[in-house]
Amino acid sequence: MVSVADDNVREVPDDPLAAIDYCYEQGWTDGLPVVPPEASRVDAMMAMEGRPPETVLARHPATGLELTIQAAAVNAVMAGCLPEYFPVIVAAFEAMDREPFNFHASSVSTGGSGHLLIVSGPIVEEIGMNADANLFGPGNRANATIGRTVRLTLLNVFRTMPGLADKSTQGHPGKYSFCIAERADRNPWPPLCEELGYPEGVSSVTVFAGAGFLNVENHGGNTPEAILETMADAMANYGCVTTGQSVVVICPEHVEIIARAGWTKAMVREYLFDHARRPREGMERIGKFVLREYERQGRQDFHRGLAPDDILVTVGGGDGGGHSAFIPSWSRGRGSVMQSQPIGVCIDC
């Protein structure tokens, strides 16, 4: 069996189990078995890209290490991706490479972020992503392996090894894989890809350095205010309230209540921002008052984020159950700003 790693071709035993063990011995895994990056599989992955294999997708500002299309393809194979998933991976790394995302710090900080990918548009159905029940859970190949490619790439290309470069205090399961799709058929608002200004038919991926998510449960509320006040309270708990951005994933049961009353997504963001707040005296008492950041708001009550647009709102999850989700930002402030990229369109080339 011929494998490809670190842009080098290597001969390994012609035995799948032995090849998997070889990958473990080389330190190429996230602790779980990987698919040995056999050369023909890597070539099939790269065939989904029109640029040369040596094209650089992302650079690590601290070490100078670079991610090429070939290296991304190798890690996508090891993660278990099919070739049709590869354009999502390419777009995600191009988005993470932008300076406001803070690729280095969000990968190695004690905050322990997982890089959340939110995919929107026609590609969700084209490649069979899950936007329905068990959205954040296991079982879907596209969601699981696209997200896992990000982590394997961080380990194998950028060398962010836990305990060495990655100093995460506790981490969370999203550091294995953290990839979801927007649910179009239950979304009463324009899809995220359209909201971001991309042309009709163009899909997008948004990347967010996220901490572990909070399940926000409300089975009894039957007004937008009841649902959103529940969410705002979760967003403003003392453990999460910062000036950082937020991702809010509203389940179909909750979004039906909100949309039936005529609320737009802008109204949702404004309500959440206005209600996700804590008084200054409380922030000072617990030691989380950072004057430099909160002065910008010009308020005595301190909000999650700096403005309503700091809250990304999307729709996802199964039809049954009043369970939505809030994903806080990784840092104590604005250490990372989410970025988006159209899939299959290189806007930075």
Cβ–Cβ < 8 Å for 203, 123: yes
* DSSP 8-class letter at 340: E
pLDDT reported for residue 15: 87
Class of residue 150 by CB neighbours under 10 A (exposed 0-12, middle 13-18, buried 19+): buried
For residue 344, give Cα distances in angstroms to 147, 162, 201. 18, 32, 11
pLDDT reported for residue 319: 96
Q: What percent of the chain has pLDDT over 90?
A: 77
Cβ-Cβ contacts under 8 Å for 170 (sequence gap 6 or more): 112
* Structural tokens at position 198: 């991309």
* Structural tokens at position 229: 């006040």
Cβ–Cβ < 8 Å for 145, 45: no
DSSP states of 121-146: STHHHHTT---STTTTSS--HHHHHH
Give the tens place of pLDDT for each residue, 151-172. Answer: 999 999 999 998 888 899 999 9
Give the tens place of pLDDT for each residue, 256-296. Answer: 999 999 999 999 999 999 999 999 889 889 888 766 666 66
Note if the pTM is more than 0.85.
Answer: yes
Select the more confidently predicted residue: 10 or 90. Answer: 90
pLDDT reported for residue 112: 86
Q: How long a stretch of residues is the chain?
A: 349
- Beta bridge partner(s), residue 152: none
How far is residue 26's CA from residue 65's CA, in Å, rounded to a whole number?
19
Give the tens place of pLDDT for each residue, 204-249. Answer: 999 999 999 899 999 999 999 999 999 999 999 999 999 899 999 9
* Identity of the residue numbered 102: N
Class of residue 287 by CB neighbours under 10 A (exposed 0-12, middle 13-18, buried 19+): exposed
- Beta bridge partner(s), residue 314: 249
* DSSP 8-class letter at 249: E
